[in-house]
Structure 1
Amino acid sequence: MKADSTAPADPACAEALPSAARGGPVSHAVSRIARLHRIAAGRLLKGLGLYPGQELLMMHLWDGGAVRQSELIKAVDLDPSTVTKMLQRLDQAGHVSRRPDPDDRRAVLVEATEDSCGLHASVRSAWSSLEEHTLAGLDPAERAELARLLAKVEANLCQETDGCPGAG
């Protein structure tokens, strides 16, 4: 009996990668991993009252102190409207304050508030939990090798863009 060539392929026989991704299996894996990592981070951050990405803004402010909003936008390499919305939410939650820059009244200075100090420890704990969950089953040598390889991948991608202002 001749097989019907118009019948859909048996999903059990289909390859794991979509046909268009077969030329880039590592890129496909990185994309899937980044999505899953963001979801996992979002779950942890939700318990802290944060949305994904806000913790990165806070990390920059905790470590760097007051900075112009325009410089913060460059440092995190996000769309200005996205950063503005994030800062509005963080301001409403009492984690950041914004004020005119005394050296240039057109510019806005952003800084972490003293009230955000407790959030700092919670974010550090959340990221530690995320790290352990993400790397479960990898021994220290494998973790170091993964970090080394990802740094090389990042360097490659930085060469293809306008640089990596948020790297490091």
Structure 2
Amino acid sequence: MTSDALPANPLALEDQVCFALSVASRSVVAIYRPLLEPLGLTHPQYLVMLALWEHQPLSVRELSRLLQLEPATLSPLLKRLEESGLVRRERDPSDERALAVRLTPRGRALRQDAEQIPAAVVATLGIEVAELQRLHGMLTRVIAAARP
């Protein structure tokens, strides 16, 4: 954005990108809540499961990188998922210092129920998939631009 494109009041709340992103994030996560509740997952746990359904096994370090979460934030999520019987954390045989995270049979089976969630979210939002894909692309650019 060039300086001549700035609004008359550069501090107007409704014009702030941070405000729109914050409200949109909370609103979308709220849509997931009732869909995830029957699966026994919170939204952050769902993100962990998505990564594992696609890439398992993963080291805690790899999972942290994929989810862009600090290991200290990820550890309690993994502990709760392990207590729920969805994942196992084991020492990596090739590197005893690393923890590998694997899905249990119950965690793998949960994927089938979770496959309904994306379509339910799209239906609730009432926004075409192509439009959501464009939004995803823009948000990915924002994330990359905001990285230190």
Give the structure-1-normalised TM-score.
Answer: 0.73
Query: Which of these residues, 9, 13, 19, is aligned with residue 21 of structure 1?
Result: 13
Is the partner of 1:47 in helix, strand or coil? Answer: helix
- Which residue is equivalent to 1:8? none
CA distance, structure 1, for counterparts of residue 130 and residue 56 of structure 2: 30
Shift of 1:58: 0.9
- Which residue is equivalent to 1:151? 137
Cα deviation, 1:104-141, whole Å, max 9, x if unaligned, reads 1111110111111221011121232112111x2x4x4x
After superposition, the CA RMSD in angstroms is 1.9
Are 1:34 and 2:25 counterparts? yes
Which amino acid is 2:13 matched to? A
Q: Name the CA shift for 1:104/1:45 in 2 (closer, same or farther; >3 Å).
A: same
Which amino acid is 1:118 matched to? A
Q: Name the CA shift for 1:145/1:48 in 2 (closer, same or farther; >3 Å).
A: closer
- Runs ≥4 in structure 1, deviation > 4 angstroms? none
Q: Name the CA shift for 1:95/1:153 in 2 (closer, same or farther; >3 Å).
A: closer
Q: Name the CA shift for 1:144/1:115 in 2 (closer, same or farther; >3 Å).
A: same
Is the partner of 1:100 in helix, strand or coil? Answer: strand
Is the partner of 1:34 in helix, strand or coil? Answer: helix
Q: Which has the higher contact order (CA 8 A, sep 6+)?
A: 1
Is the partner of 2:43 in helix, strand or coil? Answer: coil
- Which residue is equivalent to 1:160? 146
Query: Which of these residues, 22, 35, 41, is aligned with residue 44 of structure 1?
Result: 35
Shift of 1:82: 1.9
Q: Specify which structure has the higher proportion of helix.
A: 2
Q: Name the CA shift for 1:149/1:90 in 2 (closer, same or farther; >3 Å).
A: closer
Is the partner of 1:50 in helix, strand or coil? Answer: coil
- State the aligned residue count: 138
Q: Name the CA shift for 1:35/1:115 in 2 (closer, same or farther; >3 Å).
A: same
8 Å contact from structure 2 (residues 87, 107) kept in 1: yes
Are 1:89 and 2:75 counterparts? no
Is the partner of 1:53 in helix, strand or coil? Answer: helix
Larger Rg: 1
Q: Name the CA shift for 1:159/1:88 in 2 (closer, same or farther; >3 Å).
A: same
CA distance, structure 2, for counterparts of residue 148 and residue 122 of structure 1: 27
Which amino acid is 2:131 matched to? E
Identity, % of aligned positions: 28
Are 1:66 and 2:52 counterparts? no
